[in-house]
C-alpha cells in the first residue's frame, strides 16, 4: 500500500508567510490620518445617498410623495438606531472594534438595493439600510471628538476631509449618472460602502486612546440635566432639519433650472463651502462663542431657503449653494465643539447619537415628509416652511447662557494638558473610561 506523506514546508517558508500575513493586517496610520481617511471614505458614500438618492428613486418610477415616504422611513429608522442602538453597542464594544465591524454590516445591507421590486419592498430595504448605515455617522464623530479632546488631532481640519470626500462623491456620482444614467447610483453606493469596509482593516497607531466604551443608556440622564446641551440640540434639530427639502429634492430642483451635466457642478459648491469653513475653523471660528455660531447658522439657513425658493437661474442657485457652509457647517461645528469641551468622554457616544438621531435624523425625517407633501403643490411653499423652521431656533438662543469662547477653552485645555497632574491623570486611566477631574473645572475640561 502506498504511503501518503504530508509535505511540510520548510520553517523559513512558514516564517515568511506568517510575516507577510502580519504585514498585511498590521498596517497602521497616525490617529489624525486614520480619522481623516475614515471621514473621507464615508462621505464619498454619503454624497451619493444624500444628494442623488431621490434621483435614483425617481428613476425607479416612484412619485414625489413615494420618494418622500421612502426617505422619511429611512430617516425614522436612523433616528432609532443612532440614539438607542449605537450607544448600547458602544457600551459593550469599544469604538475601535465598532469601526471595524459596522462597515461590513453596512455593505451587506446595501446589496438588496440591486434587487428591489415595487414600492413595498423598497420601503423594507430602506428601513433596513437606514437601521445600519447611519451608525457610521455618530461613530466617526465620536472617534473624532474623543481624539480631539485628548489632543490627538484638531477637529476642524480633520473633519474637512469628510467634506472633501463629499465633493469627490458628488462629482463621481454626477459624472457616472450623466454617462450611464441614474440606474448606476445603486451599484456605486454599494461600491463606496465596500471601500469603507476595506479601509476599516487599517488601524490607528494609538489604539488604546480610542478603546473607549461608553455609558450606554445611562448617559441620557446626565445630558437631560444639562440645560445648555438641550438648547444646543434643539437648535441643531431645527436648523439641520430645515435642510430636508434640499437633501431630498435639491438635485431635482437643480435639474429644472440648468442642464443635467451642470447639476453635479452646482451641488459640489455646497461641500466646497463646508470644506473651507471646517479647514479655517481652528483659526477663525474658535474665537466665537456657541451662541454666535448658532445664530449665524439660523440666519444663513433661513436666507438660503428663501433664496433657493425663488432662484430662477443658475447664478442664484450657485450662490445659495455657497451658503451651505454657514447653514450646515457652522451649526455642526457649534454642537460638536460643545460636546468636545463640555461633555465627558464616556457619554460622547450618547451625545453624538442624539445629534444624529434628532438633528440629522428624526427632525429631517419629519420635515422631509412635510416637504414631500408641500412640494407637489409648490416648491416655494416647501422651502419657505424650511426657512421658518430654521428661524424658530432663535427662541432657544437665550438658554445657551454665557459661555466661554472656543479659543479660551482651548487655552485652558492646553494649560491643563501641560500640567504634570493632568498628564499623570491621563496615563493612569484605563482605556475604556475617562474620569472627569473634580470641581468646577469639570464642565470646561477640554482635554
CB 391 within 8 A of CB 302: yes
DSSP designation for 392? G
For residue 421, the model assigns a pLDDT of 38
How far is 42 from 396, CA to CA, in rounded Å?
A: 32
Could you tell me the CA-to-CA distances from 216 to 78, 91, 173, 211, 229 in Å, in that order?
17, 5, 37, 15, 18
> What's the pLDDT score for residue 390?
95
Q: What is the C-alpha separation between 92 and 283, in angstroms, rounded?
A: 37
Question: How far is CA 227 from its chain centroid?
Answer: 24
Residue 433 in any domain: the answer is no
In-domain check, residue 319: yes
Q: Which structural domain range is residue 61 located in?
A: 29-427
Residue 283: strand, helix, or coil = coil
Beta-carbon contacts of 313 under 8 Å, excluding residues fewer than 6 positions away, are 257
Distances (CA, A) of 58 to 24, 78, 144: 42, 22, 36
Inform me whether the pLDDT recorded for 311 exceeds 80.
Answer: yes
Domain CATH code at residue 278: 1.20.1250.20
229 pLDDT tier (thresholds 50, 70, 90):
very high
The alpha carbon dihedral of 293, 160, 134, 47 has a sign of positive
Distance separating alpha carbons of residues 269 and 422, to the nearest angstrom:
43
Number of domains forming the structure of the chain: 1
Q: Bigger pLDDT: 425 or 400?
A: 400
pLDDT higher for 7 or 259? 259
C-beta neighbour count of 191 within 10 angstroms: 14
- Say if residues 206 and 152 touch (Cβ distance below 8 Å): yes
Shortest CA distance to 403 belongs to which of 310, 315, 286?
A: 286
pLDDT over 80 (residue 373): yes
Q: Please give the model's pTM, rounded to 2 decimal places.
A: 0.76
Q: Is 443 within the bounds of a domain?
A: no
Q: Is residue 369 part of a domain?
A: yes
pLDDT value at residue 438: 34
DSSP state of 361: I
Q: How confident is the model at residue 406 (pLDDT cuts 50, 70, 90)?
A: very low
Rounded to an integer, the average pLDDT of 403-423 is 44
Q: Which of 217, 203, 163 is nearest to 31 (CA)?
A: 203
Residue 5 lies in a domain: no
Strand partners, 203: 28
**325 or 1: whose pLDDT is higher?**
325
- Supply 127's cell numbers: 428601513
In DSSP terms, which residues pair with 29 in a beta bridge?
204
Instruction: Supply the pLDDT for residue 155.
Output: 87
Residue 17 lies in a domain: no
Spatial separation of the C-alpha atoms in residues 423 and 432, rounded to whole Å: 17
For residue 197, the surrounding DSSP H or E stretch is: helix 185-199
Cα–Cα dist 339/323, whole Å:
24
Whole-number pLDDT of residue 283 = 65
Mean pLDDT of 140-157: 88
At CA 234, angle to CA 408 and CA 404, rounded to 5?
A: 10
Residue 18 in domain: no
Give the integer Cα–Cα distance in Å for 240 and 245: 11
* Backbone phi, psi, residue 116, to 5°: -70, 135
Note whether residue 2 is domain-resident: no
Amino acid at each position: 500500500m502506498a504511503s501518503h506523506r504530508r509535505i511540510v514546508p520548510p520553517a523559513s517558508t512558514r516564517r515568511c508567510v506568517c510575516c507577510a500575513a502580519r504585514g498585511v493586517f498590521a498596517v497602521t496610520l497616525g490617529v489624525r490620518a486614520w480619522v481623516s481617511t475614515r471621514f473621507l471614505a464615508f462621505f464619498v458614500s454619503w454624497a451619493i445617498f444624500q444628494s442623488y438618492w431621490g434621483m435614483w428613486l425617481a428613476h425607479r418610477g416612484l412619485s414625489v410623495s413615494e420618494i418622500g415616504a421612502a426617505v422619511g422611513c429611512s430617516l425614522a429608522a436612523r433616528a432609532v438606531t443612532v440614539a438607542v442602538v449605537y450607544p448600547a453597542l458602544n457600551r459593550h464594544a469599544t469604538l475601535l472594534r465598532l469601526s471595524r465591524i459596522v462597515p461590513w454590516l453596512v455593505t451587506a445591507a446595501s446589496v438588496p438595493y440591486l434587487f428591489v421590486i415595487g414600492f413595498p419592498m423598497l420601503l423594507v430595504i430602506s428601513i433596513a439600510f437606514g437601521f445600519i448605515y447611519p451608525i457610521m455617522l455618530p461613530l466617526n464623530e465620536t472617534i473624532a471628538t474623543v481624539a480631539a479632546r485628548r489632543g490627538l488631532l484638531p477637529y476642524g481640519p480633520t473633519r474637512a476631509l469628510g467634506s472633501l470626500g463629499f465633493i469627490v462623491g458628488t462629482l463621481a456620482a454626477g459624472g457616472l449618472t450623466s454617462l450611464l444614467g441614474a440606474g448606476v447610483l445603486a451599484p456605486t453606493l454599494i461600491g463606496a460602502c465596500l471601500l469603507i469596509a476595506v479601509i476599516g482593516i487599517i488601524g490607528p497607531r494609538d489604539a488604546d486612546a480610542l478603546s473607549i466604551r461608553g455609558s450606554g443608556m445611562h448617559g441620557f440622564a446626565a445630558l437631560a440635566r444639562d440645560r445648555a446641551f438641550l438648547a444646543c440640540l434643539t437648535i441643531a434639530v431645527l436648523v439641520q432639519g430645515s435642510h430636508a427639502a434640499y437633501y431630498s429634492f435639491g438635485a431635482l430642483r437643480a435639474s429644472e433650472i440648468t442642464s443635467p451635466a451642470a447639476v453635479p457642478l452646482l451641488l459640489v459648491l455646497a461641500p466646497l463651502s463646508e470644506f473651507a469653513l471646517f479647514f479655517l475653523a481652528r483659526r477663525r471660528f474658535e474665537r466665537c462663542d456657541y451662541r454666535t455660531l448658532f445664530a449665524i447658522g439660523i440666519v444663513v439657513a433661513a436666507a438660503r431657503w428663501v433664496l433657493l425658493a425663488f432662484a430662477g437661474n443658475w447664478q442664484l442657485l450657485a450662490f445659495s449653494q455657497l451658503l451651505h457652509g454657514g447653514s450646515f457647517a457652522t451649526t455642526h461645528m457649534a454642537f460638536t465643539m460643545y460636546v468636545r469641551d463640555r461633555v465627558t468622554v464616556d457619554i460622547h457616544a450618547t451625545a453624538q447619537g442624539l445629534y444624529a438621531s434628532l438633528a440629522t435624523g428624526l427632525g429631517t425625517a419629519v420635515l422631509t415628509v412635510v416637504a414631500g407633501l408641500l412640494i407637489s403643490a409648490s416648491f416655494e411653499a416647501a422651502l419657505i416652511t424650511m426657512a421658518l423652521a430654521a428661524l424658530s431656533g432663535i427662541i432657544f438662543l437665550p438658554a445657551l447662557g454665557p459661555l466661554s469662547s472656543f479659543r479660551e477653552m482651548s487655552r485652558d485645555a492646553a494649560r491643563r494638558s501641560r500640567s504634570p497632574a493632568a498628564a499623570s491623570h491621563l496615563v493612569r486611566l484605563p482605556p475604556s473610561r475617562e474620569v472627569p477631574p473634580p470641581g468646577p473645572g469639570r464642565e470646561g475640561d477640554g482635554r
